[in-house]
Structure 1
Amino acid sequence: MQSDEPIWSAGDGSDAAAPDRGVPQYPIGSVDRALRLILLLAEQPRIRLTDAAKHLDVASSTAHRLLAMLQYRGFVRQDPVSKTYYPGPALMSVGSSVLNRIDIEGAVKPVLVRLSERLKESVHLGILEGANVRFIAAAEGPTAVRVASRLGRTMPAHCTSTGKALLARLSDADIAHLYPDEELEQVTAHSVGTRTGLRLELSSIRQQGYAVNREGSEDGVASVAVPIPTRAPGVLLALNAAAPIHRLSSSQYRAVAALLIEAAKEIGDQIG
C-alpha cells in the first residue's frame, strides 16, 4: 500500500548554437561576435571581460568595444564594483516577450503534477518582473489541507522563496536599483523588512543554491525554491514547493531542494 506520508528525500562553456544552416554568404564578423556574447550570457549569468575575450578569441580591447555597444543598447549591464557583465533590460525584455508567446503552463504541467504527487504538496513556477514575482504555472497538492494555487498572482519578490531564488541571480547593483530604500514592504510580520537583511539572505541563497521562506508571504506557509536553468538570456524563472508550516521543517529543506533542482532541469530543457 502506498504511504500517505510526503516523500521529502531525494531518492563547459561551449557556444550555444542554432540548428546548422550553413555559414552565411556574406558573414559580418562583428555581428557574429556580439551574438555569441549574448549566447554566452545564456550559459553564464555573469561574464568578465577576460571571459568574453577568451570566448571570442579576440583581444580584450575588441571584446570591450563589443560589450560597450551591447551595454549602450541595454543588452548588458556592468556591475560597478566587480566590473562583470550581466543581462540588461533590453535582453530581459526580449526574452520575456518570447516566453510570453509560449504555452508555458501547458509545457510544464506534467512535470509540476509529477512533482506535486511525489511531494504531496503544491508547487509553483514563477517569473521575475521587476521587484515582483508572477506565478505562471502551478499544481496543487493532493491532500485536503494544502497551500492553494497562486497561479496568476503577483507578489513582492522579497517576500517569497520563489522571488528570493530569482533575486539571488541579480547583482548587488541590480538589488540597489530595485530597492532604493532601506525599508521594504512587509506582507506579514515575518517578511524580510530591510534591504540589508535581504542582501544577507541573498548571499546565503547563492551559496546553498536554494531559497526558503517561512511565513514571509502568508501566515502558516513555508516553502523552498530553486532557479530554473534556461538558455534564454535574461529570462529568470524559479520553481517552488509550498506546504503548511507544520509539514515542512528546516531539516527537510535540502531534500526538497534536491527534488526541485531535478524538476527544474527538466523544465529548463523543455522550454529552452
Structure 2
Amino acid sequence: MAPKVLDEYSLKAREQDIIDATIALIDKDGVENITMDKVVAAVSYSKGTVYKHFLGKEDLFLAIGNQAITIMHDLFSRAAQYEGCPRERMLLLNISYLIYAILHPALFKSVQCAKSPTVFGKSSEKRIQEQEQLEAKMMGTTFSIIEDALKKGQLIIPAHMEIQQVCFATWSQGFGTISLLSSEVEQCSGSSGLVVERELINQSNLLFDGLAWLPLSKDKDYRQSIELALRNVFPSELALLKAMGREFNFG
C-alpha cells in the first residue's frame, strides 16, 4: 500500500505539532536539555517523520525562533500603529515585549539559543533566510517609529550614533529589565520591591530623556497614557494576562 501523501496544510500542521511539543519541553526542562529523542518521544510521529521536517535540534530551534519573531512582530506592529506620539509608541512597543515574555516564557528564554552560531551552522538555508526576512520586518517596524520622531523634530540622534544603535539601546534595556525582574521568566536576587512593568517604563524614560526625545517624561504622564494605549491596542492580551492572575501595575 502506497504511503499517504499529505497536502501542504497537513504538513504545516504536523510541523507545528512538533514545534509546539518542543516549546512545551523547553518550558519544562530548559532549552539546554532538549534532544531530538526527547522531541520524538513527546509527539505521535516517528523519528524519521520528525527528521523529514527538521535537520536536527538546531534546525528545530531556529524554527522556534522564527515563530517567536513572528509573534513579536505582530505585537510590535500593533504598537507602532497606535495613534500616539512616536515616543509613546516606542514605550508601548517596549511594554508589548513584556507581554510577549509573560505569555510566551519558553520562547523568551530560548531566544539566545536560536541566535547562536551553532544553530545557524546546522540549520537549513530556507529557515535561515526566513529568519533574516522576519528580523528585517521587525527592525523596520522599530525604525519607523524613530524615523517618525526625527521627521516631527521630537528626536535628534547624537552625531556619533545611528538609528540602528538607538534601536539596539531600546531593545537591550528592555531585554535586560525583563530578564532580571520578570518572575514569569527569571528570578533576580537583590530586586525586592521592584515591579517589572514599572521599571520597564522607568528605564525607557531614562533612555529617552537622555536622548532628549520629546515630550520629556517631566512634561507627559506616560504611565497614564500607556495604560490607555494598552486597553486600546492589546485588549485580548490583557484578558489573557488577567486570566493568569497577572495585571499590570504602573503606579
Instruction: Provide TM-score, normalisation by structure 2.
Output: 0.37
Q: Compare the two structures and name the one with the higher helix fraction.
A: 2
Instruction: Provide TM-score, normalisation by structure 1.
Output: 0.35
Q: Compare the two structures and name the one with the higher strand fraction.
A: 1
